[in-house]
Structure 1
Amino acid sequence: MSLADTVLAVNNDLPIRTDAPVHSGKVRSVYWLTEADSRRLIQEKGYNVAPDAPLAIMVISDRISAFECIWHGEGGLQGIPGKGAALNAIANHWFGLFREEGLADSHILDIPHPFVWIVQKARPVMIEAIARQYITGSMWRAYAKGEREFCGIAVPDGLQKDQKLPELLITPSTKGILKGLPGVPEQDDVNITRRNIEEHFGAFNFASQDDINVYEKLLSEGFAVISRELAKLDQIFVDTKFEFGYVTDAAGNDKLIYMDEVGTPDSSRIWDGAAYRNGKIIENSKEGFRQLLLNHFPDPDILLNKDRMEERYALARNNALPESVMLEVSKTYVDIAEKITGEKLVLSDNPKAEIIDILRDQFDLIA
């Protein structure tokens, strides 16, 4: 079996019973279950959700996206070996810890396979909740050009690149395009202030103004938990993105929960502590892959300049990255997953066949 065969690159073609189109994102695909299957599973498995809650099967892939493109490697390698299993294992670990520490639940109800989550439908808060403990990346680039206010928060002069910030900064951005909100640009992923959110809390899908405090508390506390645990492994939690949504439990209570993924190398920057103390940055996250791409191509402006998107898509489409690069990225993901979870990551020879067998035999969800 070739290395390419072990990679789950296409995850939107499984024969899961559904009467809705499969939603395929950059990394995950979502299969909405039929109303009958959702009700049956809630009853059979005793999930703590409303009896008529819509459920979905969420299948991760090994695809890797960066600079808004999907990248591939030589030898038919359409993803990063071990990446999907690593992301799910890390997110599951943090979600479990959040529950243990009494922070909040997540959208995950069951984990039938390392690549698969059974999730409940949430009403998403339309905010990318970003928290930063160090000044780096886009924030540093803006700061170096003279910006001193980020999302309405003043930042002092005299900061150095990659320095720890005086306090954790919450710098939210829009999730999707919101129209007709004064002061909020009609763009996806554009920075907003807390005041923007307060003025339009309903448009951002908050049930009340008070829940803005709840989301900030869950973001800060979640960041603190992950930061504390990573510090034990001599890893630095630099910055991250969380997402939130509302669900209704079996008793009819609405609650704000964590959704998507948390504390993974795709949604966060994680630095090696020993290297940082020696003045060097070693990325244990997807940021390392981004830097690798910037160094690999002779004209990095294509990757950084949104006015050159067509050239960027062509670059990703027409260039198979060396297998050595893909395996280096694989090692980053697998190593950090094993560090965080304290367990060996078991990689499947044929994840798709395993998923189908489990969903058929244990959940009766294969058409």
Structure 2
Amino acid sequence: MSLADKVLAVNNDLPIRTELPVHSGKVRSVYWLTEADSRRLIKEKGYDVAEDAPLAIMVISDRISAFDCIWHGEGGMNGVPGKGAALNAISNHWFRLFKEQGLADSHILDIPHPFVWIVQKAKPVMIEAICRQYITGSMWRAYSKGERNFCGIELPEGLEKDQKLPELLITPSTKGILEGIPGVPAVDDVNITRQNIEDNFEAFNFRSREDIDRYELLLKQGFDVISDALAQLDQVFVDTKFEFGYVTDAAGNEKLIYMDEVGTPDSSRIWDGPAYRDGKVVENSKEGFRQLLLSHFPDPDILLNKDRMAERSALARDNALPEEVLMAVSKTYVDIAEKITGEKLVLSDNPKAEIIQILKDQYGLVD
């Protein structure tokens, strides 16, 4: 069996019973279950959700996206072996810790297979909640050009690249295109201030002004839990993105929960501690792949300049990356997952067949 066969690249073609189109994102595909199947599973499995809550099967893939493009490799490798399993394993680990430490629940109700989550529908807060402990990446690029105000927060003079910030910074941006919010351009992923959120909390889907404090507290607590755990592994938690939403439990209580994924190499920067103390940055996250792409192509501006999207899409479509590049990325993901979870990551020879079998036999979701 070739390496390409072990990669789950296409995840929107599973024969899961659904009446709605499959929603396929950069990495995950979402299958909304029929109302009958949702109700049946809530009853059979005892999930702590309202009896009429819509449920979905979320299947991760091994696809890799960077600079808003999906990349592929030689020999038909349309993804990175082990990446999907690594992302889910890491997220599962942090979500469990959050719950154990009394922070908040997540949207995940069940984990039938390393590639699969059963989730409940949440009403998302329309914010990419980004927090930063170190100055690097886009923030450093802007700072080095003289910018000092980030999302309404004033940074001091004299900071150096990759240094630890005086405090954890929350630098939110919009999730999706939000129309009609004064002072907030109607484009995806635009930086916003806390004042923007307070003045228009309902437009961002917050139930109340108090929930802004709640989201910031969950953000900081979640960051600290992951940062402390990584520090014990001599890894540096640099920055990350959280997402939040609202759900209702079986007793009818509405609650703010963590959504999407947390503390993964896709959503965070993680640096090797010993290397950082030596003055070097060794990435244990997708940032390493981004840097590799920037040095791989002769004109990196294509990857950084949003006005050159058509050229960028062509670059990703027409260039198969060397197998050793994707295998180096695989090693980064698998190694950090095993380090975080303390368990060996077992990679399946045929994940798709396994998923179908489990969802058929144990959940009755495949005809």
TM-score between the two structures when normalised by the length of structure 1: 1.00
Q: How does 1:152-231 map to 2 (within 5 A)?
A: 152-231=152-231
SS in 1 for 2:366: coil
Task: Please name the residue that 2:294 is paired with.
Answer: 294
Task: Please name the residue that 1:38 is paired with.
Answer: 38
Task: Tell me, in whole angstroms, the C-alpha distance in 1 between the residues paired with 2:268 and 2:204.
Answer: 23
Task: Tell me, in whole angstroms, the C-alpha distance in 2 between the residues paired with 1:196 and 1:105.
Answer: 27
SS in 2 for 1:97: helix
Cα deviation, residue 160, structure 1: 0.1
Task: Tell me, in whole angstroms, the C-alpha distance in 1 between the residues paired with 2:312 and 2:50.
Answer: 45
Identity %: 83
Letter in 1 for 2:220: S
Cα deviation, residue 63, structure 1: 0.0
Letter in 1 for 2:146: G
Task: Please name the residue that 2:253 is paired with.
Answer: 253
Letter in 1 for 2:330: S
2:316 is the alignment partner of 1:308? no
Cα deviation, residue 272, structure 1: 0.2
Letter in 2 for 1:164: K
Q: How does 1:42-57 map to 2 (within 5 A)?
A: 42-57=42-57
Task: Tell me, in whole angstroms, the C-alpha distance in 2 between the residues paired with 1:88 and 1:180.
Answer: 36
Cα deviation, residue 212, structure 1: 0.1
Cα deviation, residue 54, structure 1: 0.1
SS in 2 for 1:333: helix
Task: Please name the residue that 2:81 is paired with.
Answer: 81
SS in 2 for 1:356: helix
Task: Tell me, in whole angstroms, the C-alpha distance in 2 between the residues paired with 1:51 and 1:217.
Answer: 30
SS in 1 for 2:76: coil
Letter in 1 for 2:142: A
Task: Tell me, in whole angstroms, the C-alpha distance in 2 between the residues paired with 1:180 and 1:167.
Answer: 32
Letter in 2 for 1:39: R
Task: Please name the residue that 1:331 is paired with.
Answer: 331
SS in 1 for 2:160: coil
Cα deviation, residue 87, structure 1: 0.0
Give the gaps of 5 or more residues in structure 2.
none
SS in 1 for 2:269: strand
CA RMSD of aligned residues (A): 0.3
Which deviations, in whole Å up to 9, do the C-alpha atoms of 1:271-295 show, x marking residues without a partner?
0000000000000000000000001
Cα deviation, residue 179, structure 1: 0.5
Letter in 2 for 1:350: N
Which deviations, in whole Å up to 9, do the C-alpha atoms of 1:185-215 show, x marking residues without a partner?
1110010000000000000000000000000
2:322 is the alignment partner of 1:322? yes
Cα deviation, residue 76, structure 1: 0.3
Task: Please name the residue that 1:364 is paired with.
Answer: 364
Task: Tell me, in whole angstroms, the C-alpha distance in 2 between the residues paired with 1:301 and 1:167.
Answer: 32
Task: Please name the residue that 1:151 is paired with.
Answer: 151
Letter in 1 for 2:196: N
2:92 is the alignment partner of 1:92? yes
Which deviations, in whole Å up to 9, do the C-alpha atoms of 1:45-77 show, x marking residues without a partner?
000000000000000000000000000000000
Task: Please name the residue that 1:108 is paired with.
Answer: 108
Task: Tell me, in whole angstroms, the C-alpha distance in 2 between the residues paired with 1:41 and 1:193.
Answer: 41
Which deviations, in whole Å up to 9, do the C-alpha atoms of 1:126-174 show, x marking residues without a partner?
0000000000000000000101110000100000000000000000000
Which deviations, in whole Å up to 9, do the C-alpha atoms of 1:14-65 show, x marking residues without a partner?
0000000000000000000000000000000000000000000000000000
Task: Tell me, in whole angstroms, the C-alpha distance in 2 between the residues paired with 1:12 and 1:354.
Answer: 15
Task: Tell me, in whole angstroms, the C-alpha distance in 2 between the residues paired with 1:135 and 1:11.
Answer: 36
TM-score between the two structures when normalised by the length of structure 2: 1.00
Cα deviation, residue 339, structure 1: 0.1
SS in 2 for 1:75: helix
Letter in 2 for 1:265: P
Task: Tell me, in whole angstroms, the C-alpha distance in 2 between the residues paired with 1:167 and 1:36.
Answer: 49
SS in 1 for 2:50: coil
Task: Tell me, in whole angstroms, the C-alpha distance in 2 between the residues paired with 1:123 and 1:3.
Answer: 39
Give the gaps of 5 or more residues in structure 1.
none
Letter in 2 for 1:69: C
Query: May I ask how many residue pairs the two structures share in their alignment?
Result: 367
Task: Tell me, in whole angstroms, the C-alpha distance in 2 between the residues paired with 1:137 and 1:39.
Answer: 45
